[in-house]
Amino acid sequence: QVQVVESGGGLVQAGGSLRLSCSASGSIFNIYNMAWYRQAPGNQREMVAHITIGGTTNYADSVKGRFTISRDNAKNTVYLQMNSLKPQDTAVYYCNAVIKLSPYTQLKDFWGQGTQVTVSS
């Protein structure tokens, strides 16, 4: 079994910062891509930031220059540093990890349960 667990959400004023963490645990052979998504009420889930196993990153235009994704492969953990937060960043943030459970299995998507980020104006 694999678990993906996010932490670090909360309430912050506009212009503030938060750091999200997401750790994967269980029977893991290797973790490939990791990403953060978010979903605001009434909206579709959207990709916020993505990082490959080699460290290549990609960001949504709306967060470029404000958010930074990083990972610690030894800890099976991905982080999202969010600076200069805006009310429109308010959403539930989800962690996604593409994981290989053994050398003989295909890649599989795993999702965390989500963590609420609320930015007040």
pLDDT of residue 4: 97
pLDDT of residue 49: 98
How large is the average pLDDT for residues 42-51? 97
Q: What is the DSSP letter of 29?
A: S
Measured CA to CA in angstroms, residue 84 lies from 9, 13, 25, 107 at distances of 15, 9, 31, 35
How large is the average pLDDT for residues 28-38? 96
pLDDT of residue 88: 97
